[in-house]
Amino acid sequence: MSDLALLTAVLVASFLLTGVLKKVAFRIHLIDLPIARSAHVVPMPVGGGLSIVLLFLMVTSYYFVLGTIPLREFMALSGGAMIAIVGLFDDLNHLDIHWRVPVQFLAAIWSVWWLGNVPSISIGEFVLNVHWLLNGLAVLALVWLINLYNFMDGIDGLAGGQLVFVTAASSTLATINADQTLALLSGVLLAAGAGFLVWNWAPAKIFMGDVGSGFIGFTVGVFALFSMHHGSMTVWTWVILLAVFITDTTVTVIRRCVSGQKWLEGHSTHAYQNAARRYKSHSKVTITVVLINCIWLAPLAWLSVRQPQLGGYLAFIALVPLSLLATILKAGKSVEVALLPP
């Protein structure tokens, strides 16, 4: 089977499997009940991201058997299975953070260990090449991405739309730089995410759930490490591609900490959530993020690949206006929460 045919099959299978999950979710108690900070007004099936997890792991296993994916990279990706399992239990039983975080660190350490020392990072004229520090930062970054993606999965279509953008961009940029392995893996995750997104676009018929959001955040982080080891992209390209999620989450967490709020507690004070309430629409916010990604961030990411020595500066250019936007939208500020339709 050709790669294109397989990716098409993944897209169709993701659409069909997500539809099946939607039908059985109520039977197996994969339900998200609306609470005061929810962005929906009726019980919704959750766990639709399981279709992304299963299909990605199946296809990557197939490519590993074919010899397309080397052992160390396949094993690094396998850490995502741990994240997905914990996420699924969390969707079913709401696991305490004291169970989730240790597994997240274990999976991150596992993946970084299999890949070996993280390549040096250039920050302007300064080059960071202290391996123990880089490896530690990589572990922290993977754990942060797991939770970041979970934080940003709060309105219809946003997390799924971001997945499609990031994987489409990484597949394209990897192809330009002849990184065929990363291009193929990004294509598989893109196809699986697109099939799910059909059901998750506003008004959503099923939610991604922690099983999907944590797995996606982790896997995208591993992709970033792949590209650094392959020499096809720097970390700054990934910072640019994920800039909307990074700025919203970071500004929110900082402002909640400064104001004395417990940032680990559930809340709905992210910039995108405030925007959805202000404009009374999920789709408007999601489409705006898509436009920002395509018009503002994609060109900067492309330039960071063409001129990698400018990557840190380009990431700064990408992040600053988005941080200001998050501040304008009062990210991290406690506001009156009302349930709203998508």
Instruction: Tokens for 137, please give them.
Output: 């930062």
CA distance 297 to 240: 6
pLDDT tens digits, residue range 43-57?
889 999 999 999 999
Residues 6+ away with beta carbon under 8 Å from 177: 232, 233, 305
Assess whether pLDDT exceeds 90 at residue 251: yes
Q: Which of these ranges, 190-199, 224-233, 256-265, has the smallest mean pLDDT?
A: 256-265
CA distance 241 to 322: 12
What pLDDT shows up at residue 190?
98
What is the average pLDDT value for the chain, to the nearest integer? Answer: 92
Q: Which residue has the higher pLDDT, 196 or 98?
A: 196
pLDDT tens digits, residue range 2-26?
889 999 999 999 999 999 999 998 8
Q: What is the mean pLDDT of residues 75-98?
A: 93
CA distance 138 to 112: 7
DSSP code per residue over 79-138:
HHHHHHHHHHHHHHH---HHHHHHHHHHHHHHHHHHH-SPPPEEETTEEE--HHHHHHHH
Amino acid at 103: V
- Note the pTM of the prediction, 2 decimals: 0.94
CA distance 278 to 223: 35
pLDDT tens digits, residue range 271-309?
999 999 888 899 999 999 999 999 999 999 999 999 999
How many CB atoms are closer than 10 A to CB 262?
A: 9
CA distance 249 to 271: 8
Residue 262 has φ and ψ, to the nearest 5°, of -85, 105
What pLDDT shows up at residue 38?
57
In the chain, which ranges are continuous DSSP H helix? Answer: 3-24, 50-66, 71-93, 97-115, 131-151, 158-176, 180-200, 210-230, 235-241, 243-258, 271-279, 282-291, 298-306, 311-328
Domain boundaries, the chain: 3-328
Contact 244, 83 (CB under 8 A): no
What pLDDT shows up at residue 339?
44
What pLDDT shows up at residue 1?
64
